[in-house]
Structure 1
Amino acid sequence: MADLQDELNATAEAGELDTTDAATPEPPPISEPAATHSPDHAPDHVADPLLRAHALLAAHPVADGYSGLPWALRALPWYDLELGDSGVDADVPRLRAGGVGAQFWSVHVPDGITGEHVLGATLEQIDLVKQVIGDHTDGLRLARTASETADARNCGRIAALIGPARAAALGDSLATLRALHALGLSSLTLSGTSWAGPGGLSPFGEEVVRELNRLGVLAELSGASEATAHRTLAVSRAPVLFARSGARALRDAPANVPDDLLTAIGTAKGLCLVPLSAEQTGSSIREVADHLEHVRRVAGPECVGISGTYDTSETHPEGLADASRYPHLIAELIERDWPEADLAMLTWGNVQRMLRGADFTARATRERRPRAS
């Protein structure tokens, strides 16, 4: 285990953001905080919250928990994400203007696709993600781990992580899960199957969670039943992700989670990513900030993050129409006196912790657990 621990320490060090040498995204024309202030922190003497937000994001960029870009691109006959494309919400110029350093690219397929067709459509989505990233290497880089995400950031690229995917793509096959992992899948949504349904996880569902842990794939639970969520939190040895979940105490909407589940997420050191969705978190920046504050208070500051849900069918709150608008949300939190340390965890640190935790668990689990059949 000594050699294993050395590897894990190295992984953790590589996953931490190097703010000394890291290439920072180009700031928007309204301010140039990265050029005028130290990137190590947003200076307290800058009175304008928006200027402080840009300065903070130059050092601690947004790790966006959910993008629907792959499916959205299928409808476009032509696109260029690096020059900018009016057909999408989150092209490279908008991501840079918004201070985004990483995105999870969903390979979910619509619920209308069922049965054996789910796997085929999921594979097509993964293939499209790799093609898009390969065609836009000046701005994007494929990543899976915390180290790869930080390396992309340090090279001036936006990290793209593949996932989540629908669990229905697996059928009842752990071999299919391993094949999807080999193609780069980083997270799997545990809902909508016979083994992860309203009654919770079946014995096979628990085996899926253990295999996810062994592979380093994140178990994602937005939209899963409360029984499935609680059982997954109990079974999983790696951090568990809620990629698109606000606080049900503030808005009773699908995929939002109640306070007892938020408390369980905090106890398990999981991560709840609050969506920028008018249906789930309200129609204004202030309402989104209310959800972020509630999750931070109930689950803890190390268990809350942001999910843009851009390029999906979601209607976004006023003032958050596309990925360039993240600084305005951070400015709202600055005005609410959020400590800089909590803001840094919200935007970047908590996702990095989660990815490192999944990697740590996978390395440790492979030492003692053989591949399941």
Structure 2
Amino acid sequence: MTDWLRLANEIHADSLLIDGHADTPQRFVDEGFQWTSPDLKGGQLSAAAAREGGLDGEFFALWAEPSQWAGRFVERTFQLLQGMEDQIAAHSEALTLCRTASEVRRAKDQGKFAALLGIEGGHSIANSLDLLREFFNRGVRYMTLTWSNHNDWCDSSGEHVPRHNGLTAFGKEVVQEMNRLGMLVDVSHVSDAAFWQVLETSRVPVIASHSSSRALTNSYRNLTDDMLRAVAAKGGVVMVNFNAAFVDETHRLQWNALHDERAAAETRLCELWRERGKPMPYREEIELAHTFLDRAPRPPLQSLIDHFDHILRVCGTEHVGIGSDFDGIPAAPVDIDSAADLPRITAGLLERGWQPEALRGMLGENLLRVLDQAQA
């Protein structure tokens, strides 16, 4: 009998493995968490977990949570950026900032973890192309155009009543300026209308840094098969999100059924933090969400494998990647507790008949190719 997990670990050791999205910068700033900590302390990503899972690099997301940081989006984004820079300085023997694919490859050769930077949510640039350029100059190499909130120039999949019917004229300017800079345009979180307008506007391939398949799990955060094919046709990459509610329909329905109760509990928690005069750290929201998992249990690992398998078939092996959303999701499927468990996904795909060479692109080469194309 083939030992699929052993083979997966061998493939990871011999490949460049890059994850497209993690929210760990909040932990650095809000919790004082250190990249080289031997203990995950409730999180999903660290130097030790990455090493165990064969993960060579990560796009760390700078995300200004819109309700807690209302009116202070730019301040929070710079705070998270500074937090990343402080980690890189403090752990320079283990962590290095990378802006290009060649720098990622050099980091692996040097035995260092490649830290790439992305902004999650266009509200962080406060409608300023000058700010966009400043973030680029500090190392940011992608921007997710929205989060779950509409902003002043792009509609989100998280609000069902459109504000702009997609992108505004300024939104198209943002996409064009990102193209000019060589910053990847990320369509995860955007509305369906905005998605199609972005693909029409962008001169280079785009990415979906953390989105799964809507054909399998009916969430507007996921992409339809037509969308998957369109990203691939433009030469881009779709990176599969691990959020349990995006990869398993049964769990999604159970989770949504608890929405009102979860929202009420979250409101009470926010009030406690407001009384302290501080924004509520996102870790508090994650820990609160965990208390509901007994009534919306984590789905099986096979649900996540189903999404990889489906998107590989629809997009082709050159247009799929990994977008875990580590440290930003309430729960991943069973057996995916941290970056150390990434080989389980590769093992599951090998068991379904995918060949090692077909998976190497998914593990990281596809994302690096698109980064090269955007910067060219």
Q: Same fold (TM over 0.5)?
A: yes
Residue 301 (str. 1) matches residue 317 (str. 2): yes
Residue 328 (str. 1) matches residue 336 (str. 2): no
Question: Contact 1:190–1:220 at 8 Å: present in 2 too?
Answer: yes
Question: Partners of 1:188 and 1:111 in 2: how far apart?
Answer: 16
Match of 2:321, SS state, is: strand
- In the other structure, the counterpart of 1:272 is 238
- Residue 317 (structure 1) aligned to one of 333, 336, 342: 333
Pairwise CA distance, 1:140: 1.1
Question: Contact 1:302–1:350 at 8 Å: present in 2 too?
Answer: yes
- In the other structure, the counterpart of 2:64 is 109
Question: Partners of 1:194 and 1:234 in 2: how far apart?
Answer: 20
- In the other structure, the counterpart of 1:203 is 169
- In the other structure, the counterpart of 1:40 is none
Question: Contact 1:239–1:270 at 8 Å: present in 2 too?
Answer: yes
Residue 97 (str. 1) matches residue 52 (str. 2): yes
Question: Partners of 1:96 and 1:324 in 2: how far apart?
Answer: 7
- Residue 84 (structure 1) aligned to one of 9, 13, 38: 38
Residue 340 (str. 1) matches residue 356 (str. 2): yes
* Identity rate, percent: 30
Amino acid paired to 1:82: T
Amino acid paired to 2:5: L
Pairwise CA distance, 1:190: 1.1
Amino acid paired to 2:97: L
Question: Partners of 1:345 and 1:84 in 2: how far apart?
Answer: 30
Pairwise CA distance, 1:57: 0.4
- Residue 220 (structure 1) aligned to one of 176, 186, 200: 186
- In the other structure, the counterpart of 1:20 is none
- CA deviation profile, 1:43-92 (whole Å, cap 9, x unmatched): xxx93111110110011132111111111233324x44324223232110
Pairwise CA distance, 1:113: 4.1
Question: Contact 1:133–1:141 at 8 Å: present in 2 too?
Answer: yes
Question: Partners of 1:165 and 1:49 in 2: how far apart?
Answer: 35
Question: Contact 2:29–2:79 at 8 Å: present in 1 too?
Answer: no
Amino acid paired to 1:194: D
Question: Contact 1:67–1:311 at 8 Å: present in 2 too?
Answer: yes
- Residue 189 (structure 1) aligned to one of 130, 141, 144: 144
Pairwise CA distance, 1:313: 3.4
- CA deviation profile, 1:110-169 (whole Å, cap 9, x unmatched): 121455410111011101001011111222111111111111111111101111332112
Question: Partners of 1:312 and 1:172 in 2: how far apart?
Answer: 25
For the aligned residue pairs, the C-alpha RMSD in angstroms reads 1.5
Q: Map 1:231-270 onto structure 2 (within 5 A).
A: 231-270=197-236
Question: Partners of 1:54 and 1:97 in 2: how far apart?
Answer: 9
- In the other structure, the counterpart of 1:145 is 100
Question: Partners of 1:215 and 1:239 in 2: how far apart?
Answer: 14
Question: Partners of 2:40 and 2:101 in 1: how far apart?
Answer: 31
How many residues align? The count is 314
Question: Contact 2:28–2:34 at 8 Å: present in 1 too?
Answer: no
- Residue 168 (structure 1) aligned to one of 123, 130, 136: 123
Question: Contact 2:153–2:168 at 8 Å: present in 1 too?
Answer: yes
Question: Partners of 1:161 and 1:270 in 2: how far apart?
Answer: 18
Match of 2:108, SS state, is: helix
Pairwise CA distance, 1:351: 1.0
- In the other structure, the counterpart of 1:292 is 308
Question: Partners of 1:130 and 1:237 in 2: how far apart?
Answer: 31
Question: Partners of 1:59 and 1:82 in 2: how far apart?
Answer: 23
Question: Which has the higher relative contact order, 1 or 2, with Cα contacts under 8 A spaced 6 or more apart?
Answer: 2
Question: Partners of 1:285 and 1:164 in 2: how far apart?
Answer: 29
Match of 1:112, SS state, is: coil
Question: Partners of 1:101 and 1:240 in 2: how far apart?
Answer: 22
| TM-score with structure 1 setting the length | 0.81
Question: Partners of 2:304 and 2:184 in 1: how far apart?
Answer: 25
Q: Map 1:349-368 onto structure 2 (within 5 A).
A: 349-360=365-376
Match of 1:107, SS state, is: strand
Pairwise CA distance, 1:292: 0.8
Question: Contact 2:16–2:365 at 8 Å: present in 1 too?
Answer: no
Pairwise CA distance, 1:251: 0.3
Question: Contact 1:168–1:193 at 8 Å: present in 2 too?
Answer: yes
Pairwise CA distance, 1:204: 1.3
